[in-house]
Amino acid sequence: MWSKSGLFFILFSFSKTVFAQPGFMHFTVKNGLSQNAITCIYKDKRGFIWLGTQDGLNQFDGQKIKQYRYEVGDTSTISDQYITSINEDGAGYLWVGTRNGLNRLNLQTNQFTRIHFDKNRKNQIQYAFNNILSIGSGNLLFPVEDKAYILNWKNQQISELPSSFKLNSNFTVYGKSVWQYSNKIIYQINPVNGLITDSTKINSGNPKSVRLFTDKNGLIWLIDEKDENNPSISFFDIKQKKWFPSPFVWNEKINDIVFDDNNVAWIAGQSGVYTSEKGQVKKTFKGRGFPEILNQPNSVLSIYPDNQGLIWMGFANNGVLLYNSTSQAFDLVLPTKTNETVYSYLENLNGDEWIAAVSGLYKRDRVSKKFKLILKEKVRSLEADSYGTIWAAIENKGLYSIQKNGIIKLVASVENGKLLSNSIFHLKYDNSKKRLFISTKFGLVIADFINNTWNNSHAGHNNTKGLLCGSYILHSFIDSKGNAWISSNGGLDVLNNDLQLIYKYHSGTDTSSFIKRTIITGCTEDRNGQIWISTLSNGVYKWGINKFQQYNIKSGLSSNVVSGVIADADNKIWIATTTGMNVLNQETNRITTLNEQNGLPATDFLLGSLQMSNKNDLLACSSEGLVLIHPKKLMLNPKKLYTYINNPSINYRLVKVQQAYRLSSEDKSISFELTTPCFINMDKIIYQYKLKGFDEKWNSLNSNDRRINYTNLPFTPLELELRSAENVDLLSSAPITRIHIFREPPFWRKWYFVSAISILFGLFIYWVIRWVTKRKINIEKRKSEIEQTLYKERERISRELHDNLSSYAAAIKSNIIQLEKNEALPFDSFNQLKENAEEMVNALRETIWVLQYEQVSITAFSDRFKSLINRIAPNYPSIRIELKEHIQKEKVLSPAVSIHLLRIMQEALTNSLKHSNCSIIEISIDVNEKMEICLKDNGIGFDTSNSSIGYGLQNIRERAMESGLHLNIQSSINGGTSVVIND
């Protein structure tokens, strides 16, 4: 809870803010200007101010100044540092004239193009371009020496203006026509074909050295500078085609003339600035009219009124001075010659004005407008009743009355029992009930003049009808229904005409009503019947029946410490704080802050300080004096702020300004500086940005930190959105600037690479699927072949058993039967029985040998065949068997092939031994890349065409076919036989 002494200190302590000449802002080389001699000023379409000096060009956005200077050897810089004129064409190029040539500035690249009308003088000192004029919408006129040139902005073509007479820089532009003065005649020229369309002779005289200026209504000001220190001014009306009589003489040199939106002429002279209408001086800025910080003399070289009511004044040696013309809406009323705190103001029914200041109570005479000291006392509050009596609350003494006859007497105090405290904060008279509400330090006192009673029963410490929210009563207000709104340190009480409580809103704690933890400092009612409530720490509230809407710093208030609130005749809400005046436009819901930059004479306003005069002017008591505000003269239209980027950089390398940026895959960072051309209250600007596609949330920046930076952006199209406003509530309706950013992906993420990889991957998948399918088919085929092989192997084994073992087994069976009959067997039969048994065992061994290996090498096969030869050869001593091996490269055989090959060779060997009657059998086994086995005898041979060849030869051929071997049998009668096997 606020302490009483703390509250008193807050409400009645004042901090003096020194600000010489409210409404002016001064910028010099200390703020970043290249030089203090301002030769020309121009505001471009985006809102940036361009300041030409004798040493470079300057761009100003309200916070930062950027310099452009001539650099020797660099043709992309401006052609000369001495700037003489600035203008902008319809394409957005800035044209800058210098004493040495004309330049076109590309604002995206920040590079200049030097324009040469005469190519022969390209490497010489160029013309001085002292003036650049706009023709129509976007075209420009360049006068230079005895010629003039026209720019067609659409195709950027420059052509010489045809003319039947020599030009001498004495012309002007109005609409789409050029007006030229020459030899007592003013001509109208068509800029397309150079033809004269009209001419009018001057009334008198023959000015030689002439400059022309045209106002917004088509009135040409002809300045005759025969005596430049005392130039004469003549006027020619373009619309009426006539000269005004009697030119008058100006008493000092004229450097520049411009016209604002109200067609007021602003004249830059040797000693200051003047405003004029048709030559009649309206206002003068010179000497003490300028801030004291300016150095003397105050010669003004250039002047420029922008569309925001700001006047830019360029001095010869003092930089640029920004003057806010809205300061004409403010006056500081002082009862004495010095600034002092004014506590209260009163305008009674007779039109008398009373001001209560630190030095005493003053009354201003209605005729002479001079102040007279009435009472040398510190009066805190003034009020007048319907009887003509003035009521004055004198600090620590009580309530005094001032009668019509001037008699002053004490009426109420603690000592006579009528007051609860002699510290009175506010007085409010209820005309309908003839009673006075007295807000004191210890409660509310109501003086009833009809019944002549002093009722203090509504004080917080002694209230029989219900306690008020607080005892520290700060303000009373009577609404249109006669209800009394009592503001206090504890909240807000609303009493009806009968002083019965109808509403009560506590504000002392965090659990109070909607108005929490603050002190109520005052109330007012607008034209719609809505009640506005000011607080000491929460801003203001708009009240409906038990419904509140809050406005605070986030809404645009300069401070949440509000000393008073009032509605003007246009239903705008004026909110007085300790840091400036705030105006809430209910139609746009926009709050405008007024301070020294707007020309407000004071920014520290006191409790209960606001009221409207009979002329609908606003009066506010402050620590500087009584501030008189004329609301009708203020420009409070909503101003949309457009946000731009400045000094963009990629990988910390500056690049040009553009609407889209394409980064390479190696670019890791991009950054921008945000700017919005705002020159009043620029320190309140809030910047917001978000990068759609990367960060969908608005991020906020303050005006002193306007740089944003992104690193490692994704490889996708992004859109940077920018906006700015004077407060948070205005951001939602602020214009959005969009910058496109795309970071090139690395080659392995580009579409053609991804497409190629996708195709290759698709082909790979296709190949894998095909391979898997083929492998599956091969496996199935292999299974089938294995099954077929197994089937054939079973068949072969069966045949082996049949061909070999069964025959031997049958012979053995026959021998056994003979033994059973006890028949005598010859000795050969026992040998045969033995041989059959041995052959049977050998055949079985050979079959088992082959089947026990998954693979059989050719060497192992050869060794096995040798073993077979060694077993059989002893039975045929007359036949020589020769075996030759040439195995250069090992080769492996499957078990099936091995057994087939072994049986083929066994069958061929047996046939040669038993049936060929040969003496020599030659066997060769040759293996390198290919295998070839040959068995050759020198026997009787046989006829290969004989179809009655035995089962053995047929068996050889079938085995060769099954094993996939090539078999070649050659034989002839008495020519021997050869069996050749190869793979």
DSSP string, 62-102: SS-EEEE---TT-TTS-S-S-EEEEEE-TTS-EEEEETTEE
What does the CA dihedral 442, 444, 449, 455 come to, rounded to 10 degrees?
Answer: -80
The residue behind tokens 């009657």 is 917
Q: For the chain, first and last CA: distance in Å?
A: 112
Which one is predicted more confidently, 693 or 831? 693
Judged by average pLDDT, the poorest of 237-251, 313-327, 653-667 is 237-251
Q: Which of the listed ranges 363-372, 466-475, 556-565 does the model predict with the highest average pLDDT?
A: 556-565
* pLDDT band at 461; cut points 50, 70, 90: very low
Give 254-299 pLDDT, tens digit per residue.
Answer: 999 999 988 999 999 998 999 987 667 778 888 777 776 676 677 9
Of 233, 228, 163, 168, nearest to 196 (Cα)?
A: 163
Q: What is the pLDDT of residue 820?
A: 59
Judged by average pLDDT, the poorest of 373-382, 460-469, 603-612, 869-878 is 460-469
Give 278-288 pLDDT, tens digit per residue.
Answer: 667 778 888 77
CA distances from 905 to 86, 937, 956 (A): 113, 13, 9
pTM of this structure: 0.72
Judged by average pLDDT, the poorest of 84-98, 815-829, 842-856 is 815-829
Average pLDDT estimate for 899-926: 88
The residue behind tokens 């295998």 is 931
Sequence-distant (≥ 6) Cβ neighbours of residue 772 within 8 angstroms: none
Q: What is the pLDDT of residue 862?
A: 87
Quick check: bond before 717 cis, omega within 30? no
Average pLDDT estimate for 644-654: 92
What does the CA dihedral 186, 191, 194, 198 come to, rounded to 10 degrees?
Answer: -30
- Cβ neighbours, 10 Å, residue 343: 24
* pLDDT band at 60; cut points 50, 70, 90: very high
Q: Which residues pair with 51 in a beta bridge?
A: 41, 58
Give 17-26 pLDDT, tens digit per residue.
Answer: 333 467 888 9
Q: Are 211 and 168 in contact (CB under 8 A)?
A: no
d(CA 486, CA 480): 15
Of 253, 357, 366, 370, nearest to 301 (Cα)?
A: 253
Q: What is the pLDDT of residue 231?
A: 92
Q: Which residues pair with 151 in a beta bridge?
A: 140, 158
